[in-house]
Amino acid sequence: MFRTIDSWINRKVAVYAVVSWHKLYGMRMKIHHLNCGTMFPRFPRGTQSISYCLLVKTNDGLLLVDTGYGVQDYKQPTMFTKVFILSLGMPRSLEETAIHQVKKLGYARDDVKHIVMTHLHSDHAGGLRDFPNAQVHVHALEYKAIQSPKGFKERFYDATQWSHSPKWVVHEEEEKGDWFGFRNIQLQEGLNPEVRLIPLHGHTRGHCGVAIQTSKGWLLHCGDATYPFYHKNEPAEPFKPLPFYVMSPPKWLEKGLIGENTSRLKELHAKHGEKIQFICSNDVITYSRQLHIQRDAS
């Protein structure tokens, strides 16, 4: 009798262990690479760009990195957004909005539990209103910047994009630990995959990269802190090679527009490029290649 009970208990413990292991580790991580806004800027001429966002399957729902412009930005834009979209030469396609792409992938609006913002410029934050129940993660300095904008680059915020009172999660910097020599902020304890904010201030006061742990190492979304220096200028069709002044901008332009993080990121790539995949917000090279990979896999 006791052997029977022991056997029953052991089976139950074994089943519980397998179920618990599956819940913690068995979920297959999936990262979708999204273009949430094609651009044909009036300056610099002859370029094609995108708003590069990521959709990540986690153990706490879907996580979106940046949103691009949202539905209301195209249907009822403010005067500022209308002028900015015109200057970027955007086709204003609702099919490129994050909410449309999330639904096309078979998910619901409320499946998106977390939105992690590299920064809150209007071409990155417009889709926040399309996910009103998601937690919006942002660096404390960026949150402060939208409360009291200063200087030229902070004029590119559009406060109507967060007029719905998002569920802000404001992250302060921590002094402990580092991520390959960079300061970092753990997004949420227990989140799988692990996600970290990497302060890359300069383009805006609280601009951050977003590092996502993968089976091969890390994926680092650099936001607008750099350009795709980590690639040869060979995008896949239908994208065309970028002009030299985009792939290698003069120092004065780089400093004025995106800050001074590129030299450190180049050093990081040289030392740890085999462990870290780099992308940035306007990286048509990586996106075009990922697009072909995703199409081939489907």
**pLDDT recorded at residue 209:** 98
Q: At 28, is the pLDDT very low, low, confident or very high (cuts 50, 70, 90)?
A: low
Is residue 4 a part of any domain in this protein? Answer: no
pLDDT over 80 at 36, yes or no: yes
> What is the count of structural domains for the chain?
1
Is residue 264 a part of any domain in this protein? Answer: yes
Is residue 225 a part of any domain in this protein? Answer: yes
pLDDT over 80 at 73, yes or no: yes
What confidence tens digit (pLDDT) does each residue in 174-226 have? 755 689 999 999 999 999 999 999 999 999 999 999 999 999 999 999 999 99
Q: What is the C-alpha to C-alpha distance for residues 77 and 70, in angstroms, rounded to an integer?
A: 10
Is residue 19 a part of any domain in this protein? Answer: no
pTM: 0.88
> Which of 213, 208, 211 shows the shortest CA–CA distance to 223?
208
Is residue 1 a part of any domain in this protein? Answer: no
CATH number at residue 78: 3.60.15.10
Is residue 91 a part of any domain in this protein? Answer: yes
The domain containing residue 107 runs over which residues? 29-297
Residue environment code for 266-280, b if the CB has 16+ CB neighbours within 10 A, otherwise e: eebbeeeeeebbbbb
Greater pLDDT, 15 or 122: 122
Residue with tokens 């805006």: 204
Is residue 267 a part of any domain in this protein? Answer: yes
The mean of the pLDDT values for the chain is 88
Q: What is the C-alpha to C-alpha distance for residues 106 and 168, in angstroms, rounded to an integer?
A: 26
The percent of residues above 90 in pLDDT, for the chain, comes to 71
Is residue 58 a part of any domain in this protein? Answer: yes
